């Protein structure tokens, strides 16, 4: 029954949303491997340089075909983060918050939406925990806004290493 429901939900997506879902499904395992082998900032630099589009080339999620024209960047960003979450829920392995947030950050950039990748920490019962999320215009788009109350974010967002030409 859930497969039929998933197929119906997929059929309701626009072509650009389907493309973003496919990109997220491919990028999640690639990100898992890349972060482990070359590190977060280097992988983020690769995503910024090689696989990001110029703003003029963007096929935007949230265009008239999927979301009404009056909606803003924040709603489009939340739609993209939902597509990444859907891809993560259907992957054969369990992706973590960093992989999902980095994939969301990348897809937002590809759709012309500037965002910040945030990493926060907290200490509970003697152990250190970390969590990653994405913000657009100071609003959390792939988690609850209260996440900022539970984790202390680094002062600046995570920025990629400079891409050398």
Give the pLDDT confidence of 71-100 residue by residue, as tens digits: 588 999 999 999 999 999 988 878 999 999
Predicted TM-score (pTM) above 0.85:
no
Q: Name the helix (H) or strand (E) containing 122.
A: strand 116-124
Q: Output the six-digit token pair for 50.
A: 């090689």
159: which residues sit within 8 A by CB, 6+ positions away? Answer: 41, 44
pLDDT attached to residue 124: 87
- The answer to whether 44 and 117 are in contact (CB under 8 A) is yes
Q: What angle do CA 23, 28, 31 make, to 5 degrees?
A: 115
pLDDT at 155 > cutoff 80: no
Q: What angle do CA 35, 38, 42 make, to 5 degrees?
A: 85
Q: Averaged over 22-36, what is the pLDDT?
A: 95
Lowest-pLDDT choice from 55-59, 73-77, 91-95, 137-141? 55-59
């Amino acid at each position: 029954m859930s497969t039929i429901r998933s197929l119906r939900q997929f059929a309701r997506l626009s072509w650009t949303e389907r493309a973003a879902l496919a990109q997220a499904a491919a990028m999640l395992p690639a990100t898992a491997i890349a972060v482990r082998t070359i590190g977060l900032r280097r992988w983020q630099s690769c995503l910024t340089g090689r696989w990001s589009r110029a703003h003029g080339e963007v096929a935007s999620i949230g265009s008239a075909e999927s979301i009404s024209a009056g909606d803003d960047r924040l709603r489009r960003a939340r739609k993209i983060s939902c597509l990444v979450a859907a891809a993560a829920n259907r992957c054969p392995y369990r992706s973590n918050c960093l992989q999902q947030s980095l994939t969301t950050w990348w897809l937002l950039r590809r759709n012309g939406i500037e965002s910040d990748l945030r990493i926060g920490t907290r200490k509970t019962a003697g152990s250190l925990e970390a969590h990653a999320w994405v913000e657009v215009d100071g609003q959390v788009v792939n988690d609850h806004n209260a996440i900022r109350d539970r984790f202390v974010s680094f002062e600046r967002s995570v920025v990629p290493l400079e891409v050398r030409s």
